[in-house]
Structure 1
Amino acid sequence: MTRIFLIAGEASGDALGAALMAGLRQIDPKVAFFGVGGPQMAAEGLESLFPMDELSVMGIAEVLPRYSALMRRINQCAAEVVRLSPDALITIDSPDFCLRVARRVKAQSHVRTVHYVAPTVWAWRPGRAGRMAGVIDQVLALFPFEPPYMEAAGLRCDFVGHPVVAAPRATPEDALAFRARHGIDPEAPLCLVLPGSRRGEVARLAPVFGQALQTVLAQHPELRIVLPAAPGVAELVAGLSAGWPGTPLVIDPRADPAGAARDKRAAFAAADLALAASGTVSLELAATDTPMVIAYDMNWLSRQIIGRMLRLPTVTLVNIVSETLAVPEFLGADCQPGPIAAALCLLLEDPAYRAPQLEAMRLTMERLGQGGEKPGLRAARAVLDGIDSDRREPRGTP
């Protein structure tokens, strides 16, 4: 019987872990799971060692007061892995916590270690791959261009596909029903506005986005604006957008998370264009063929430091995966209302301006695994192949 210990520290990792568990059970129905996860992994049969929420901490100010508690959980996880001696320890994202557990496990055992989600060494801090090599045996990558970076550091790395290709999507009928439910004319252009999921970025971007949209609405008064808000910033988004023109619709998930998730999927399907902060959201928009403008800014010091560390000419994932610059982006000092508004107007008015984006988005989804096996199943095959390789060539104890 295959025994797998998994650790996920946040909601996105819980979703990845659940899909991986489903894939493992599809291949090996007798597989046994142990570890730490959230509700989605629990639904796949994991009894969490402790609540995953204890690990969902970000930022130095938030971590410091809980440092001792987090260290106890790190040591607890490592001790449990060593005690159980599973066929593999799979750590899912959350590298600050997970790699510390893996390091302790490696120091005390020969358990195979797998890390799901490669660090973004292709964008910045390339030395992270080398530091992982002594702790991690195998990496599961979301992007097809990541394996060479990991392999150069001596790590086995398998591209398994991005979860966006398997995410549920709304139908055209769902999109029409969304418009009807919220009084949006079926023919009116609809713009999604996505200013981020963290309070700092929302506070910084929302005023810029609002000014840009004021210019766009002056030229296109029929435009409707929809803001799908993350739970932690829904109140802030509603407050900052209240004075915008066009009576923006905020999708607030706090009262009815399931209904808000349904509305968000339908809004993505109904949208004609989007203005978004940089991040994974560009892939969600690509999955629904929604043309976009990406804009992002940060404080001056972070802008200087990260600007010097970036290794690519673009930060937009659609551009990176498609190897194009099809999606316009306005970053740092260029994150200004005027240029953003001009790009949005071009998307609304000029099919020739939209066409390269649409092609880049389709190429992106194809390269991320759309149309093939689900990422969770591909990840399961890669994990089991790695375990089989260890069984053929066992490693010695440390």
Structure 2
Amino acid sequence: MWLSRACLRLLIGSDVSEHEEAPLIWLIAGEPSGDLIGARLIEALNQQTGTRFRIAGIGGEAMASAGLKSYFPIADIAVMGLIEVIPKIPRIKRRMRETIAQIREDKPAMVVSIDVPGFCYDVWKGLRGSEIPLIHYVAPTVWAWRPDRAKKFAQELDHLMTLLPFEPPYFERVGLDCAFVGHPVLEGGADKGEGQRFREQYGIPPEDNAICVLPGSRSGELKRLGEVFRQAATTVAEKYPDAVFVFPTVSYLRVQVTELTKNWPGRTVVISSISEKFDAMQACDVAMAASGTVSLELAMARVPHIVAYRMNAFTVQIVKLLHGWNQNFVNLVNILLGREVVPEFIQEKCRGDLIGAYICKLLEDPATCEEQMRSVDSALAMLYPPNGLPSDAAASFVVALLGAQNQTNFDKR
């Protein structure tokens, strides 16, 4: 639902007298991606309401810049991987109990949790009986695996905001109010990189082919894909000896990525600055990447690419046996379009010779690149909400809920 700014302010502010505090929104973000989503949500709420609300909760640097004072560091709960999480369980459980107690004490108008469903699910259970409305932002991928999670979410939540247009029906059919608000990658800036400046800065001539290499943002991914991509690069370098391989990575993996490039064929450029990431992408002619959100960023940057992924075969079989897998593709562009537009090199197809050959094809065949770009444009268009940007849509949804809540409270007086 979209409302004028004046109407939005009226909804939130009309019932707040000079002796009453503005409504409190309690936010929870448990990892960097959610922190960025939360920051944009806060900024959009400020723009739409004239700051007629208060915020509290848990977030990182981005949300702090937007005005949130986090109750504890986001790093306390931002742990990924089974082995990594085991020694942190006592701390995570303690932070969970503290979060529940603080929310009950603060009595917010609503709680908006962002992603990290494992942590948030226990918080929701801890708030049973509090009558505090619970809204979650970023749906679990029930359309791919573990569809039973939809019912579990519906039992605890009041509302859900999804990033993908096909997600609401999975939750609405089990009674959870749901709204598609768009994908945050659309606001990430991947379409605003300055490729020419990057090439000039790092001495990459316009006539030289630049290949963006993105083997993942986790150490395990890097280990699994690093050697495969090196083999692919060998194939490319044999045909294009002047090719430059550009590695946009994250600061905590820079040493590991730099070590990987020591035996790399051809020239390499490693950068770990967030501000340079999209410049690096747009400077490149093609890319090979680990399957994930980075594929959407490459699509936004208009870089033809392939995606690859390899997991332990036994792990894959266990996941399929216990939870199933309901998709023909792993890449979101391909899932949205129902066909393979971005080539997928997964499991047994995740081979350096196959990937290298396809990268060479992209470098040699502009028509193939143009066709991929036309198709990804169609997929990206599906990720926009009906009006405006995703953060605007999410903020409007939250404000409408606040307005409905205020009206209900007013009617009870």
TM over 0.5: yes
CA contact (8 A) 2:160 2:177 kept: yes
Task: Answer yes or no: is 1:348 the counterpart of 2:370.
Answer: no
Give the secondary-structure state (helix, strand or coil) at the position aligned to 1:217.
helix
Deviations along 1:107-128, one digit per CA (max 9) or x if unpaired, are: 2311100111000111111111
Where does 1:209-220 land on structure 2 (aligned, <5 Å)? 209-220=229-240
1:231-380 alignment, distance < 5 Å: 231-251=251-271, 253=272, 260-307=273-320, 309-369=324-384, 372-380=387-395
2-structure distance, mates of 1:264, 1:62: 27
Is 2:183 the partner of 1:162? Answer: yes
1:256 corresponds to which residue?
none
- Asked if residue 31 in structure 1 is aligned to residue 53 in structure 2, the reply is yes
RMSD: 1.8
Aligned partner of 1:64 in structure 2 is 86
* Greater Cα offset, 158-167 or 192-201: 158-167
1:147-158 mapped onto 2 (5 Å cutoff): 147-158=168-179
Work out whether residues 297 and 303 of structure 1, in 8 Å CA contact, stay in contact via their aligned partners in 2: no
Aligned length: 385
- Deviation of residue 18 (structure 1)? 0.6
> Displacement of 1:372 after TM fit?
4.7
| 1:270-317 Cα shifts (integer Å, max 9, x gaps) | 111100000000000000111111111011212223455221110001
Partner of 1:193: 213
Query: How far apart, in 2, do the equivalents of 1:276 and 1:347 lie?
Result: 14
Between the aligned partners of 1:288 and 1:128, the Cα distance in structure 2 is 34
Question: Which letter does structure 2 place at the counterpart of 1:245?
Answer: P
Contact 2:190 2:297 in 1 (8 A): no
Name the stretch that deviates more: 78-87 or 2-11.
78-87
CA contact under 8 A between 1:112 and 1:387: conserved in structure 2?
A: no
Kindly tell me: are residues 61 and 191 of structure 1, through their superposed partners in 2, closer, same or farther at Cα, counting changes over 3 Å? same
What letter is aligned with 2:350?
C
Taking the aligned partners of 1:291 and 1:307, their CA distance within structure 2 comes to: 30
Alpha-carbon spacing, 1:370–1:360, altered in 2? closer, same or farther (3 Å) = farther
Is it true that 1:109 corresponds to 2:125 in the alignment? no
CA distance in 2, matches of 1:191, 1:205: 16
Distance 1:356 1:305, change over 3 A: farther
For the residues of structure 1 that align with 2:385 and 2:268, how far apart are their CA atoms? 33
CA distance in 2: counterparts of 1:235 and 1:371, whole angstroms: 43
Q: How far has the Cα of 1:391 moved from its partner? A: 4.6
Q: Which amino acid letter does the alignment assign opposite residue 278 of structure 2?
A: R
Q: Which amino acid aligns with 1:266?
A: D
CA distance in 2, matches of 1:355, 1:22: 36
The aligned counterpart of 1:227 is: 247
CA contact 1:193–1:226 (8 Å) conserved in 2: yes
Checking the alignment, whether the CA contact within 8 Å between 1:92 and 1:115 is kept in structure 2 is yes
Counterpart of 1:207 in structure 2 is 227
Give the stretch that moved more between structures: 235-244 or 289-298: 235-244
Distance in 2, Cα, partners of 1:389 & 1:158: 16
Distance across 2 between alignment mates of 1:171 and 1:314 = 28
Q: Aligned partners of 1:146, 1:128: CA distance in 2, in Å?
A: 13
How far apart, CA to CA, are the structure 1 residues paired with 2:33 and 2:227? 28
Equivalent of 1:120 in 128, 138, 141 = 141
**Relative to structure 1, is the Cα distance of residues 38 and 299 closer, same or farther in structure 2, using a 3 angstrom cutoff?**
same
User: How many angstroms apart in 2 are the aligned matches of 1:262 and 1:384?
Assistant: 32
List alignment gaps of at least 5 residues for structure 1.
254-259
